[in-house]
Structure 1
Amino acid sequence: MSGSRTAGGHGTLVLAIDTATPAVTAGVVRVEGFEVLAERVTVDARAHAEQLTPNVVGALADASIAVGDLGAVVVGCGPGPFTGLRVGMASAAAFGHALGVPVHGVCSLDGIGIDTDGDALVVTDARRREVYWARYRDGVRIDGPAVNAPADVPGAVDALTRPPVYPTVAGLVRAVDDWSANPAPLVPLYLRRPDAKPSVPTR
């Protein structure tokens, strides 16, 4: 393998994906220095399936690299709504399988919280009048992730009045704990049951 394809090597080019929030995010990051070569974000809670692949293709083109140059994939595993979240995770798994490269799953909230200083609360919209949240100290998660009504999370109501912030591709890549280890299987952080329920046969 070339230096750019060495899994976890400092020259590794990483495809980062997140669909856990209304932002459909894809980008290319060089592990060394966490240099962002390209990032494409479309904010549309109903367009995850339609926009993810174009954003991936666009990011690769913007970074002037071929898909075969990628040495790893990083994907946000939520917490997030079932439908949007599975789009990103399924796509990341497919890229990893096709390219024969490792796929690292991270908490999507870490893709935001890792860039905070001091004590911070990261909140995203969970719908149903609830929020997904996690607390951080100097960029390290110390509580959560969890899902609750905003009133049950101190500071969440104030956080919701601020402009929304979404996971960045650099934050997602930085959230990987150990590049030298084999990544664990991808596990989605739904934190609650999906909206769709199986029908119950009537007698």
Structure 2
Amino acid sequence: MEPLVTTVLVIDTATPAVTAGVARRDASGVEVLAEHVTLDARAHAEQLTPNVLGAMADAGVAMSQLTAVVVGCGPGPFTGLRVGMATAAAYGHALGVPVYGVCSLDAIGIDTDGDVLVVTDARRREVYWARYVDGARTTGPDVCAPGDVPAGAAAVAGSPDHVGLFDLPRLTPTHPSTSGLVRAVDWSAAPGPLVPLYLRRPDAKTTAERGVRS
């Protein structure tokens, strides 16, 4: 039986937004107590811990009061994504609290209504994408060139640098929010292993993978 009130540390590094927040969840919904977001695709490792500590301080919540951790599992670039997931796992282990992983695109899509395409930067002139109807994912996540994303959505949300590639009305959500990440969790189920949604192999390869002999 899940607790009546859950105090949650929330982390996401799947996009250029380095997000850390603290939220309280109960039967009436989700209340965001504090959120720190830094928009810098190259500063996940440098900014995540300061953002966590800042959000905790602003929320007036001690680490010992946390009862769960929620982390976005992508899809996202290898380096940034593993920073957030490793940090979330470390907090969960140190505090002895469960860690829930969610699809980061779901945290954007859940804040939309209607038939919506959500896109984020996958680099290599590609996008990560998923499709939602009234906040529930119907297709994806996947990665491909913008021109290969299946048509039919009524609007688009997500990365400001990529929504313009689609001839669709733009919606407000641009990155996973603290509220969206908490609401995307299936709180009725026990948390499973944290599985990163890379959707493709990382750019970095081992010597063996490159076929180079020592």
Normalising by structure 2, report the TM-score: 0.87
- Correspondence list, 1:174-193, <5 A: 174-177=183-186, 179-193=187-201
Q: 1:158 to 1:44 in 2, by over 3 A?
A: closer
**Residue 121 of structure 2 contacts residue 162 of structure 2 at CA under 8 Å; is this kept in 1?**
no
**Residue 104 of structure 1 contacts residue 183 of structure 1 at CA under 8 Å; is this kept in 2?**
yes
Residue 167, structure 1, aligned to residue 138, structure 2: no
Task: Tell me, in whole angstroms, the C-alpha distance in 2 between the residues paired with 1:159 and 1:119.
Answer: 15
Task: Tell me, in whole angstroms, the C-alpha distance in 2 between the residues paired with 1:58 and 1:107.
Answer: 24
- Where structure 2 has 5 or more consecutive residues not aligned to the other structure, the ranges are none
Give the aligned length: 196
- Correspondence list, 1:59-138, <5 A: 59-138=55-134
Q: Which moved more, 1:71-80 or 1:25-34?
A: 25-34
**Residue 123 of structure 1 contacts residue 160 of structure 1 at CA under 8 Å; is this kept in 2?**
no
CA deviation vs aligned residue, 1:57-101 (integer Å, no higher than 9, x gap): 000000001011000000000000000000000000000000000
Aligned residues with identical type, % of pairs: 72
**Residue 119 of structure 2 contacts residue 162 of structure 2 at CA under 8 Å; is this kept in 1?**
no
**Residue 119 of structure 1 contacts residue 138 of structure 1 at CA under 8 Å; is this kept in 2?**
yes
Residue 198, structure 1, aligned to residue 206, structure 2: yes
> Given the alignment, which residue of 26, 40, 44 partners 2:20?
26
Task: Tell me, in whole angstroms, the C-alpha distance in 1 between the residues paired with 2:83 and 2:91.
Answer: 12
- Where structure 1 has 5 or more consecutive residues not aligned to the other structure, the ranges are 1-6
Show structure 1 runs of 4+ deviating over 6 A: 155-158
1:187 maps to a residue whose letter is: V
**Residue 109 of structure 2 contacts residue 118 of structure 2 at CA under 8 Å; is this kept in 1?**
yes
Normalising by structure 1, report the TM-score: 0.91
Q: Which residue of 2 aligns with 1:13?
A: 7
Shift of residue 201, structure 1, vs aligned partner: 3.0
RMSD of the alignment, in Å? 1.9
